[in-house]
Amino acid sequence: MIPFLVVSFAWFFQSITGFGAGIFIIGILSMLYDPKMVVVSSAIFNLFGTLSLLYQNRKGKIEPKLLFSLIAGSVPGIFLGAYLLEMADTKTLKLTIGAFILALGVYNLLVQMGLLKVRLGRHMAFPAGFLGGLFAGLMGMGGPPPLVFLSQHLFDPYSIRLMLNLYFTSNILIRLSFYQNFELLSLDWQFIAMGLAGLVFGTLTGGLLAKRLPSKVYASGASFAVVLLGIVLLIVAELGL
């Protein structure tokens, strides 16, 4: 039941923003299950989620050069991330996930307060794809770098979400291939089934309920939640829980 609830919330969030499911799925469930299993198994049901968001955002436009550069950059990043995932022990992986989530939450808060602004030219598509692939291969969370990049070069929300989820879909397929090569593809099918049910519920309700939430309050609340999640995961990892 816990995976269903966590995945429902995570995909509710992603159905609104276009990214973010991995942050809550990996962050919360890694405290309750083996983090390697969570990273690998969640890729299966997240694939169905990205495919559904491709359909929802089909009105968007694709920029082939940007998309190709992002995906091309992700391939070596995913390979390196999958290798590091294979080598990491449980505590190190939890600490890495916690630190990443905490840093992401702090970054979001600084951006929202106008204290930080990162500018990325179009030539940064390959590096952004590489970083996204590295984080995805290692931790199942590769959304922030391509989101920051695309948000500066595309201005239609449908196009941003369409491009992001095309990137995510290819990203997951490449990840699964590398996980298989590194013998990391150990799947918990009960976990996956509960995740799929949560994904369906979260994506169906996300669009309906999100319209009733003030966007600024929602964004700042989500950032504080991410910061708190990162801190809690770091404490859990350090205590060996």
- Say what the pTM is: 0.84
Summarised one tens digit per residue, pLDDT across range 44-101 is 888 888 888 788 788 888 999 999 999 999 999 999 999 999 998 888 888 888 888 8
Q: How far is CA 183 from the centre of its chain?
A: 22
Tell me, rounded to whole angstroms, the distance of Cα 180 from its chain centroid: 20
| AA letter at 170 | S
| Dihedral sign of CA atoms 11, 13, 17, 21 in order | negative
The yes-or-no verdict on residue 152 having pLDDT over 90 is no
Report the residue count for the chain.
241
Write out pLDDT tens, residues 189-229.
888 888 889 888 887 877 666 556 554 555 555 667 777 77
Amino acid at the residue 169: T
Mean pLDDT, residues 139-166 taken together? 86
How do the domains of the chain map onto residue ranges? 2-239
Enter the tokens of residue 143.
Answer: 């959304």
In the predicted structure, residue 161 carries a pLDDT above the cut 80: yes
Instruction: Tell me the pLDDT tens digit for each residue of 169-185.
Output: 999 999 999 988 887 77
Neighbours of 96 (CB within 10 A): 20
Is 241 a residue whose pLDDT tops 80?
no
